[in-house]
């Protein structure tokens, strides 16, 4: 048997270096895997937290509270809360402050006064609320009532044209209804409007929004107090004064301002009214019935302006003196037999018992020619009301009956009466 002696092959330095590289590569891969594993566990850990500050606490259930219990908040709470949420890092990092809601619910309140409310936090899906800086709040609940307040004008910004002034300002509606907590409404002194009107040349209407003032004359700014209808229309009356000439007009139909001598101690009157009314006032006319007026004697007439106009002057009366040239008088006794009855009921009859003495005035030459036949006397039975048998004194109408007679009239024609008997 032949012995085979072989010498082992020697490793070269290059081969040893390759093994070292392989080992180091494997070791690095293991370390990287371990690091990545720990990172993955930490990154997606369900215990990752983040805090969000100053989340506003909203109030809910106020409408239900008013409807069911008649209550409301005494004042609006200005509350914020800091919220810490937990969850996977990927979920938490996607959350924004606007995704978190904080609220208190008023709908379960059972009595007025101080009430405790839980602050409820809602966070997005995949996260939970780990903690919150405020868990509960105490708020006052009051009766929800309404009160009426008179609307007043607080200030007006305007420029007035010459000779004009503001006389009255009225608001419509004159009052407003305010709803809110009973205790808060007691602090309100009233409602007001401010008017921005610019240059005024006539009366205007301005629509504005009513606001509220407290007892310190500060504007009320409370969201739990509101005006049912805050729109108010203010009517601003712009007035003017002016001197108006006076004219005397005769209304009896017999004479005119041309044929009569008319004297009035008042040439002008001072009238005041709205611009719209005063624009159409050109003169003031004093009407006098010359057939029922004493001649050559002062006639005191009350100055009575048209509707909507007032006398702003010191003189309240005007004195008129009326003279008619060649005026004459004539007294005449009219027989009771000439009294005519009209509108007499069929079942009744009447007879005049007394004569009537009348006074006629006018042109003397015409008066001289008048006789009893030219004058009529009439009793209108329909003006006497309920009639019954017996003797009674009634008014009569005395007129010049002859058509071609002019320039004369029955003086004081509404003052005559006659005694009659009704059967």
Is 10 inside any structural domain? no
Return phi, psi of residue 336, to 5°. -60, -25
The reply to whether 333 falls in a domain is yes
* Same domain, yes or no: 278 and 228: no
User: Does 235 share its domain with 248?
Assistant: no
Beta strands in 64-123 (DSSP E): 71-73, 80-87, 101-105, 113-118, 120-122
Residue 43 counted as domain residue: no
Domain membership of residue 139 (yes or no) is: no
Q: What is the mean pLDDT of each run of 10 residues along the chain (423 residues)?
A: 47 60 70 62 69 93 84 81 92 92 88 87 92 90 89 91 87 94 90 92 92 93 89 94 94 79 93 92 92 83 93 94 83 92 89 93 87 92 86 92 83 89 89
- Please list, residue by residue across 253-281, b when 16 or more beta carbons sit within 10 angstroms of its beta carbon and e when fewer do: ebbeeeebebebebeebebbbbbebbeee
Please report whether residue 398 resides in a domain.
yes
Same domain? 305 vs 360 = no
Single out the residue in 187, 207, 239 at which a domain terminates: 239
Q: What's the pLDDT at 45?
A: 62
Number of C-beta neighbours around residue 93 at 10 A: 10
**Do both 155 and 219 map to the same domain?**
yes
What CATH code is carried by the domain that includes residue 309? 2.170.120.40
Last residue of a domain, one of 134, 166, 188: 134
Q: Is residue 160 part of a domain?
A: yes
| Enclosing domain of residue 183 | 144-239
Same domain, 218 and 280: no
Q: How far apart are CA 325 and CA 334, in angstroms?
A: 27
Q: Within this chain, do residues 318 and 394 fall inside the same structural domain, yes or no?
A: no
| Interatomic CA distance for residues 246 and 269, integer angstroms | 7
Length of the chain measured in residues: 423
Which CATH number goes with the domain that contains 386? 2.170.120.30
**What is the SS3 assignment for 89?**
helix
Final residue before a domain boundary, out of 134, 153, 170: 134
Q: Are 326 and 285 in contact (CB under 8 A)?
A: no
Residues 252 and 235 in one domain: no
Do residues 342 and 386 both lie within one domain?
A: yes
Structural domain tally of the chain?
4
Q: Are 396 and 378 in contact (CB under 8 A)?
A: yes
Say what the pLDDT of residue 21 is: 65
DSSP letter, residue 312 = -
Q: For residues 195 and 203, is the Cβ–Cβ distance under 8 A?
A: no
The answer for residues whose C-beta is within 8 angstroms of residue 410's C-beta and 6 or more apart is: 291, 358, 359, 360, 375, 398, 399, 400
User: For residue 287, is it within any domain?
Assistant: yes
| Residue 2 pLDDT | 42
Backbone angles phi, psi at 33, to 5 degrees: -65, -40
**Domain check: are 220 and 161 in the same one?**
yes
Q: Is residue 23 part of a domain?
A: no
Q: Are residues 249 and 181 in the same domain?
A: no
233 and 148 in one domain? Answer: yes
CB-CB contact of 102 with 58 (8 Å): yes
What is the rounded distance in angstroms from the CA atom of residue 220 to the CA atom of residue 211? 8
Q: Is residue 306 domain-shared with residue 353, that is, in the same domain?
A: no
């Amino acid at each position: 048997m032949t012995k085979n002696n072989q010498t082992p092959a020697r490793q070269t330095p290059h081969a040893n270096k390759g093994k070292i590289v392989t080992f180091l590569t494997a070791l690095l891969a293991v370390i990287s895997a371990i690091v990545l594993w720990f990172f993955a566990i930490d990154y997606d850990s369900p215990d990752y937290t983040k805090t969000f500050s100053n989340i506003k606490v909203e109030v809910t259930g106020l409408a239900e509270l008013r409807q069911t219990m008649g209550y409301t908040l005494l004042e609006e709470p200005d509350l914020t809360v800091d919220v810490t949420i937990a969850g996977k890092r990927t979920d938490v990092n996607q959350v924004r402050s606007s995704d978190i809601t904080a609220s208190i619910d008023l709908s379960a309140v059972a009595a007025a006064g101080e009430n405790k409310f839980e602050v409820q936090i809602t966070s997005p899906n995949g996260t939970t609320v780990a903690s919150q800086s405020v868990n509960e709040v105490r708020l006052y609940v009051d009766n929800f009532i309404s009160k009426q307040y008179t609307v007043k004008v607080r200030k007006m910004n305007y420029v007035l044209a010459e000779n004009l002034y503001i006389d009255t300002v009225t608001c419509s509606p004159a009052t407003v209804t305010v709803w809110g907590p009973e205790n808060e409404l007691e602090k309100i002194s009233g409602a007001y409007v401010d008017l921005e009107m610019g240059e005024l040349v006539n009366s205007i209407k301005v629509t504005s929004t009513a606001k509220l003032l407290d007892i310190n004359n500060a504007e009320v700014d409370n969201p739990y107090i509101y005006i049912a209808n805050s729109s108010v229309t203010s009517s601003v009356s712009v007035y003017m004064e002016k001197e108006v000439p006076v004219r005397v007009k005769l209304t009896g139909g017999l004479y005119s301002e041309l044929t009569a001598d008319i004297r009035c101690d008042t040439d002008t009157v001072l009238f005041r009214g709205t611009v719209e009314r005063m624009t159409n006032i050109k003169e003031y006319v004093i009407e006098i019935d010359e057939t029922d007026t004493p001649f050559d004697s002062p006639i005191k007439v009350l100055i009575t302006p048209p509707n909507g106009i007032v006398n702003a002057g010191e003189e309240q009366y005007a004195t008129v003196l009326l003279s008619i040239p060649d005026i004459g008088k004539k007294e005449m006794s009219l027989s009771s037999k000439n009294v005519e009855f009209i509108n007499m009921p069929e079942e009744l009859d009447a007879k005049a018992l007394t004569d009537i003495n009348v006074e006629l005035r006018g042109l003397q030459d015409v008066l001289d020619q008048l006789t009893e036949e030219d004058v009529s006397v009439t009793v209108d039975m329909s003006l006497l009301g309920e009639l019954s048998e017996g003797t009674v004194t009634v008014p009569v109408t005395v007129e010049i009956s002859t058509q071609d007679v002019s320039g004369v009239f029955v003086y004081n024609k509404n003052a005559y009466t006659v005694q009659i008997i009704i059967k």
